[in-house]
Amino acid sequence: MLSWHALHVRHQSEAIAAEALEGLATFWPHRVTRDNRGREYRRAWFPGYLFVRVDWSDPVQRLRILRVSQLLAILAVDGKPSVIPDTEIESLRILASSKARVAQHPFLREGDSVRVVSGPLKGVEGKVERLKSSRLLIVQVEMLQRAVSVELDPDTIEAVKGRSLQAA
């Protein structure tokens, strides 16, 4: 069964590792920045991590991953590769394809689960945190204990699983 897994790779080698896995579905959310000379740089949202969608029971796919020279570890729980939920990857993909200003954010343990119901980020799920006078949607990858944030209008979100938003 195909599922997303997180690979821990060498520092700043997410793109190289993704190229080594050509033919497999890979994803490493990043932003492109320019220096004062106009050169482009890709900055990973989760430095040192790459997501790959594979059938872990397939020995050929497993061997392809294990042969990647940049691979440091495969995130696992109880000795089994951890599965990243499709909804987390899809939320990151929506953010990556939008023009929203995305920034790294500390992983949160508290806050309400929400879903964006309108606008260009419709379908993104995450946590909401109030910061000064604005609100941030925090999209987390639970297994990595990492997150990215995007500023949003509170009117565009709804509570997930019947949980209500905290009073502002």
Q: What are the boundaries of each domain within the chain?
A: 2-81, 86-159
Instruction: Read off the pLDDT of residues 65-107 as tens digits, 9 standing for 90 and up.
Output: 999 999 999 999 898 999 999 999 999 999 999 888 887 765 6
58 pLDDT higher than 90? yes
* pLDDT above 90: percentage of residues in the chain: 46
User: Does the pTM of the predicted model rise above 0.85?
Assistant: no
Tell me the HSE value of 3 on the side-chain side, using a 13 A CA sphere. Answer: 12
Q: Please tell me the least confidently modeled range out of 5-9, 91-95, 140-144.
A: 140-144
Strand partners, 79: none
pLDDT at res. 66:
95
What top-level class would CATH report for the domain 2-81? Answer: alpha beta
Is residue 81 within 8 Å of 38, Cβ to Cβ?
no
The per-residue pLDDT for range 108-123, each reduced to its tens digit, is 445 677 788 888 888 8
Mean pLDDT for the chain overall: 84
For position 132, what pLDDT does the model report? 53
